[in-house]
């Protein structure tokens, strides 16, 4: 009996691909030179998509697969999946929540500390010989005890806030409504007001059409020339042109970013800035978390095709 055919939209670690290849016929879409021709020739046999958070599945891909039943996302963010197109045909969608939450929060806090205390520059100061030639490294910025804003107090934002409570921070958050699990922290509905009362502003919102560019010129201006923006969500939550303008004009103090428009081909204006910490979308990038994410992708696909309940359904 032939194996069920899946479209693999992006690469996975070897341990995931071995397991998937043993159970399914995996079409490695990301290696196909002529993708339109491939879908036209093979699309009718494909019953599932295995994708990644940042790659998703757009309407054209979904509509090229007439027998598509499920889209399994390796990541918690499903914003790159056309949910409307999936709903129209009752296509199931799954993601990998919870298993990555704490690693993402860990990196967010690490990015804050690294940027505020100048750790990347500090290593260059040592390795370049500047320490011996120029003397003491320039003073940087305190983190503990300062004001932090969390834009989006979902699972990841909550874990970030928990960690920062350990740094005796003055914590406020913005979300659609006050959260009963956040009684120790200040609820501020308006992102501009949240930014105005923050030294550090984390963007931890799940990205969607409604959150696009929620961090725009007004929020960035309110954060100000001593403020720091940390983004571990999606680039789409930030107006990158406004961010770059503010960083170049020094009307925003600094930024620490793990996600970018057009990644991995980010805007070259970022590369000319010394006030930004740039990370390669690696917030969930630990062996432990990625093993758990890959297992969930496989478990969701297997459950669907075996007629069992899906472990982590979105649709
Ligand atoms: C993953 C992410 O690294 O969870 C998400 O939505 O963006 C990241 O945690 C990415 O999806 C893996 O490709």
Predicted confidence at residue 1, as pLDDT, reads: 77
Predicted confidence at residue 74, as pLDDT, reads: 98
Distance separating alpha carbons of residues 266 and 260, to the nearest angstrom:
6
Query: Cβ contacts of residue 103 below 8 Å, gap of 6+?
Result: 283, 284, 285, 286, 288, 289
Superfamily of domain 101-278: NAD(P)-binding Rossmann-like Domain (3.40.50.720)
* Own/partner pairs, 17-22, CB within 8 angstroms, 24+ separation: 19/294, 19/298, 20/50, 20/298, 20/301
pTM (two decimals): 0.96
Residues with CB under 6 A from ligand 1: 52-54, 74-77, 100, 281, 283-284
Residue spans in the chain of domains classed CATH 3.40.50.720: 5-99+288-305, 101-278
Looking at ligand 1, which residue's alpha carbon is closest to its atom 7? 53
Could you say which of 47, 92, 281, 290 is catalytic? 281
* Ligand 1 mean position, distance from CA 39 (Å): 25
Tell me the CA distances in angstroms from 111 to 83, 228, 291, one per residue in order.
Answer: 32, 11, 23
Answer CATH for 5-99+288-305 from 3.30.9.10, 3.40.50.720, 3.30.70.1140, 3.30.300.210: 3.40.50.720
* Ligand 1 mean position, distance from CA 79 (Å): 11
Identify which of 10, 11, 12, 53 to mutate to test ligand 1's pocket (most ligand atoms within 8 A of the CB). Answer: 53
Predicted confidence at residue 46, as pLDDT, reads: 98
Identify which of 17, 206, 281 to mutate to test ligand 1's pocket (most ligand atoms within 8 A of the CB). Answer: 281
Tell me if residue 263 is catalytic: yes
SS3 222: helix
Predicted confidence at residue 307, as pLDDT, reads: 98
**Is residue 105 within 8 Å of 156, Cβ to Cβ?**
yes
Distance separating alpha carbons of residues 73 and 62, to the nearest angstrom:
14
Ranges of the chain with pLDDT below 70: none
Predicted confidence at residue 211, as pLDDT, reads: 97
* Burial (CB count <10 Å: 0-12, 13-18, 19+), residue 139: exposed
């Amino acid at each position: 009996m032939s194996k069920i055919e899946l479209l693999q939209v992006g690469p996975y670690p070897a341990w995931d691909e071995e397991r998937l290849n043993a159970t399914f016929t995996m079409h490695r879409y990301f290696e196909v030179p002529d993708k339109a021709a491939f879908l036209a020739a093979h699309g009718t046999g494909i019953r599932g998509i295995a994708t990644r958070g940042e790659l998703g599945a757009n309407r054209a891909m979904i509509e090229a697969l007439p027998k598509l039943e499920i889209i399994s996302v390796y990541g918690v963010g499903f914003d790159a999946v056309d949910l409307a197109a999936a709903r129209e045909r009752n296509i199931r969608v799954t993601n990998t929540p919870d298993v990555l939450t704490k690693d993402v929060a860990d990196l967010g806090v690490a990015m804050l500390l690294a940027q505020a205390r100048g750790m990347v520059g500090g290593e260059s100061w040592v390795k370049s010989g500047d320490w011996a030639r120029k003397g003491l490294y320039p003073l940087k910025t305190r983190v503990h005890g300062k004001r932090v804003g969390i834009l989006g107090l979902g699972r990841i934002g909550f874990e970030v806030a928990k960690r920062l409570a350990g740094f005796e921070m003055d914590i406020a958050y913005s979300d659609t409504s006050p959260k009963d699990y956040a009684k120790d922290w200040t609820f501020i509905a308006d992102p501009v007001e949240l930014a105005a009362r923050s030294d550090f502003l984390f963007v931890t919102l799940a990205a969607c059409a409604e959150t696009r560019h929620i961090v725009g010129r007004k929020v960035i201006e309110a954060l100000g020339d001593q403020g720091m923006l940390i983004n571990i969500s999606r680039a789409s939550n930030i107006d990158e042109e406004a961010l770059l303008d503010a960083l170049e004009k020094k009307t925003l103090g600094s930024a620490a970013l793990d996600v970018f428009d057009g990644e991995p081909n980010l805007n070259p204006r970022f590369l000319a800035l010394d006030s930004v910490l740039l990370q390669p979308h690696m917030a969930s990038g630990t062996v432990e978390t990625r093993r758990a994410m890959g297992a969930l992708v496989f478990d969701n696909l297997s459950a669907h095709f075996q007629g069992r309940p899906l472990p982590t359904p979105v649709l």
